[in-house]
A and B are shown apart, each in its own frame.
Chain A
């Protein structure tokens, strides 16, 4: 191994690490706010990549129908709940969120897709199509059991993962897709050349991470999310609607997932079931951060990316073993360092 190869490996590791970092933050955010270990995060990656790939062939992506369909189901659930509670408030906003917007998106996709719009429009349309699936998932799967134990929520998350993966097979088919690079240039960076696409991924991830940080620090909603994450009961007492917080967290997670999907689509062939493994590496990053600290989770995810890159070089057959074994020393170290806290029983 020489210096050049080491630089290339670092570049590769950082590119993947940046994507894992986005996923790690999303998983952490959802866990902090709603206590759900978000297993289906990977599906949003696959949906984002596949939607973009379908749009690039000037076809209407399956997600457009999926959003309209799941939206309709969510609306029915909402109506039943309203009928049972004999309330009418909130129905208008639900109708807007679950019926009007998805239908408008479906119309937009059917109208725009055959015209082969510029790449930026395709990316925005992809995000618009995939992101609503986040809050819909929350409404259908999590909200009715929001106060259940962490274990029950984990089971539900696994079920949602399988359901979304199955829907992915139905709507995108079993074959994989790969999109052309957004930018194909090579950039000279001191002693090495980096592909512009890698730099784009790192920059885009960094911008999104900074935006999330600003959102948490400066906006009312960001602070509400942080408050919910710290203490759900307390947050409710001071008037923060925990359901809205959960919905927002799932929306952000879907945005991060779909965006990662758009970013990795030019690097590899994405299948309907590819997202899980990618998100799992983001999860390892989040665990390194102790499932509490955002900066540590992001750093951990970058570390996973670098480790993966070097492990692929030295012992490619054992790459995944090495990456996932990293969890054991990290968990050991964390359990030795942290003092034991009694489980919360009041949930």
Chain B
């Protein structure tokens, strides 16, 4: 009798161990998204991918722990610490705005956990081991605009952008790429997102007589100078950045944004890509998988979220059973696997990471699109 009890006890113990081993095998993915505050219009599509993906990754059970930071970098940092210390996540995805990324990168380095920032940020070498940022860098995108302009014989360009970090980034990228291409920047103006009028800046731009104008804005506020330029009769090409791609830009801009040229990730025009482009299949799969639960899935931000998921999936597969999720060894293994990413096809790019490149995209991550008949069309 005693014997049987001991047997049962050891069986129960074994079962318990097996259970806990299985529970520990769950990969925990921490997500920080700005679903309220000024960054909400981007943060919500970023988040919706993770709320609609099935809870597994590379055949292993997975759990997405999603926190909102209200577009406030100090809350972002608090969230990151909570995810690392209390939730014991294996990897961080997000945040979804650049200042938040910069703030959290210190936490990632200190806690030795890999983070894939979903907003564009230039990762300094000191933080390189742990911090990744997958959106196409601004120079990659703007170089496309400059190439197009050069091919069409443009010699001078005017610039008007937001009076904030984004406007600075775009102007710097333009200065870096326009000079070598023999294009001169003849005017450079700034405005604020909520400005009721940009007529003064537009008058000055037109007085400088540029062949083309680049608007360094994003979202619907980028239409403000565009509409004013058209009202004052500017006839040259108006280029925009990848920050404007979406139906809302055309909804607000209407007829006046017809003919706009902008760079973007291939995902936005997936159907129009040639079949030879590997990104086409991945992007269409992504739409098919998520659109039943999330009909507005076709946007750049959800694409970045999904690409980050694909990269993690690749890393989880590579790590396999070499380490247990929830341990420092697993975090280290995930980071190493991420850095070894080779030719992972996403919805925006084909990713190749290395010890010195934690962005991982090349010119395959950029296409030019033009507004034709109220639609974004691939420019061939």
Q: Mark A residues whose CB is within 8 Å of B.
A: 5, 8-9, 12, 15-16, 19, 166, 169, 173-178, 264, 267-271, 273-274, 277-278, 309-310, 312-313, 316-317, 319-320
Contact (Cβ within 8 A) A12 B200: yes
Other-chain residue from A166, A264, A269 in contact with B221 (beta carbon distance below 8 A) = A269
CA distance A219 to B192 in the complex (A): 42
Write 9 A-B pairs (CB below 8 A) sorted by A numbering. Answer: A5-B203, A175-B219, A175-B220, A175-B248, A264-B196, A269-B252, A271-B194, A277-B194, A316-B189
CB distance A269 to B223 under 8 Å? yes
Complex CA gap A274/B219 in Å reads 14
A267 x B196 contact (CB < 8 A): yes
Nearest chain A CB to B46 CB, angstrom units: 12
Are A269 and B201 closer than 8 Å at their CB atoms?
Answer: no
User: A12-B199, A278-B196, A319-B163 are known contacts; what are 17 more A-B pairs with Cβ within 8 Å?
Assistant: A9-B199, A9-B200, A12-B200, A169-B40, A174-B44, A177-B252, A269-B220, A269-B224, A271-B194, A273-B38, A309-B200, A312-B191, A312-B201, A316-B201, A316-B204, A319-B190, A320-B163
Residue from the list A15, A174, A268 in contact with B224, Cβ < 8 A: A268
* Chain A residue, CB-CB nearest to B189: A316
Q: Is residue B195 contacting chain A, with contact meaning CB distance below 8 A?
A: yes
Determine the chain A residues whose CB is within 8 A of the CB of B191 once the complex forms: 312, 316, 319
State in angstroms the CA–CA spacing of A267 and B196 once bound together.
6
Complex: how many Å from CA A269 to CA B248?
A: 11
Distance to closest chain B CB from A161 (angstroms): 14
CB-contact partner of B196 in A175, A177, A268, under 8 A: A268
Structural contact, A176 and B220, CB atoms closer than 8 A: yes
| In the complex, per-residue mask of B33-50: 1 if CB is within 8 Å of any chain A CB, else 0 | 000101011001000000
**Binding site secondary structure of chain A:** helix
Q: Assess the A316–B200 pair: CB atoms within 8 A.
A: yes
Complex Cα–Cα for A264 and B221 (A): 14
Chain B hits for A174, CB < 8 A? 40-41, 44
A-B interface, 5 closest residue pairs, ranked by CB to CB distance from nearest: A174-B41, A312-B200, A313-B200, A317-B190, A274-B194
* B52 at the A interface (CB under 8 A): no
Measured CA separation A316–B224 after assembly (Å)? 15
Chain B residues within an 8 Å CB radius of A270: 194
Q: Is the CB of B198 within 8 A of A312?
A: yes
Cβ-based interface call for B197 (8 A): yes
B194 nearest CB neighbor, chain A only: A274
Q: In whole angstroms, how far apart are the Cα atoms of A173 and B224 in the complex?
A: 20
**Assembled-state Cα–Cα distance A86/B57 (Å):** 64
- Write out the residue numbers on chain A whose beta carbons fall within 8 Å of the beta carbon of B126: none
Report the separation of the CA atoms of residues A103 and B361 in the bound assembly, to the nearest whole angstrom: 55
Residues of A within 8 A of B203 (CB): 5, 8-9, 313
Q: Is B207 an interface residue (CB 8 A)?
A: yes
Given A178-B252, A320-B163: A19 and B196 interface contact (C-beta under 8 Å): yes
Distance (whole angstroms) from the CB of B134 to the closest CB of chain A: 23
Residue from the set B44, B194, B203 with the largest chain A CB neighbour count within 10 Å: B194
Q: Given that A19-B196, A309-B197, A310-B200 are contacting pairs, would A316 and B248 also be in contact in the complex, using a CB cutoff of 8 Å?
A: no
Nearest-CB residue, chain B, relative to A273: B38
Residues in A with CB closer than 8 Å to B200 are 9, 12, 309-310, 312-313, 316
Within 8 A of A (CB), among B211-240: 219-221, 223-224
Chain A residues, CB < 8 A from B195: 268
Q: Chain B interface: which size bin? A: 20 to 34
A-side contacts of B198, CB under 8 Å: 312
Report A198 CB to chain B, min CB distance, Å: 9
Which chain A residue shows the least CB distance to B36? A169
Once the chains are docked, how many angstroms separate the CA of A267 from the CA of B191?
14
Complex CA–CA separation, A8 to B202 (angstroms): 11
Nearest CB of chain A from residue B297's CB, rounded to whole Å: 17
Does the CB pair B163–A317 fall under 8 Å? yes
Whole-angstrom CA separation of A267 from B163 in the bound complex: 19
Rounded to whole Å, the gap between the CB of B140 and the closest CB of chain A is 25
Cross-interface CB contact of B197 among A12, A177, A273, cutoff 8 Å: A12
Q: Mark B239-256, 1 if CB is under 8 A from A, else 0.
A: 000000000100010000
Tell me whether A15 and B220 are in contact (CB under 8 A).
Answer: no
Q: Is the CB of A313 within 8 A of B44?
A: no
Alpha-carbon separation in the docked complex, A173 to B203 (Å): 33
Bound: A271/B38 CA distance, A: 10
Q: Which residues of B contact A166 (CB under 8 A)?
A: 36
- Contact pick for A319, options B192, B194, B196, CB 8 Å: B192
- Least CB distance from A125 to B in Å reads 23
Q: Check B220–A16 contact: CB distance below 8 A.
A: no
Chain B residues within 8 Å of A319, by CB: 163, 190-192
CB distance from B71 to the nearest CB of A (A): 10
CB proximity of A184 to chain B, nearest CB, Å: 10
Contact of A175 with B194 at beta-carbon distance under 8 Å, contacts A8-B199, A169-B36, A312-B200 already known = no
Inside 8 A of B196's CB, which chain A residues have their CB?
16, 19, 264, 267-268, 278
Smallest beta-carbon distance A260→chain B, Å:
10
Q: Min CB distance, B126 to chain A, in Å?
A: 30
Q: How far is the CA of A16 from the CA of B200 in the complex (A)?
A: 12
Q: How far is the CA of A165 from the CA of B193 in the complex (A)?
A: 17
**Distance in Å: Cβ of A47 to nearest Cβ of chain B:** 15
Q: Which of B167-188 contact A (CB under 8 A)?
A: none
Q: For residue A177, which residues in chain B have a CB less than 8 angstroms away from its CB?
A: 252
Among the interface residues A15, A176, A316, which one has the most CB atoms of the partner chain B within 10 A?
Answer: A316
Q: Which of B41, B44, B189, B200 has the most CB of A within 10 A?
A: B200
CA of A315 to CA of B277, assembled, Å: 45
Chain B residue with Cβ nearest A170:
B36
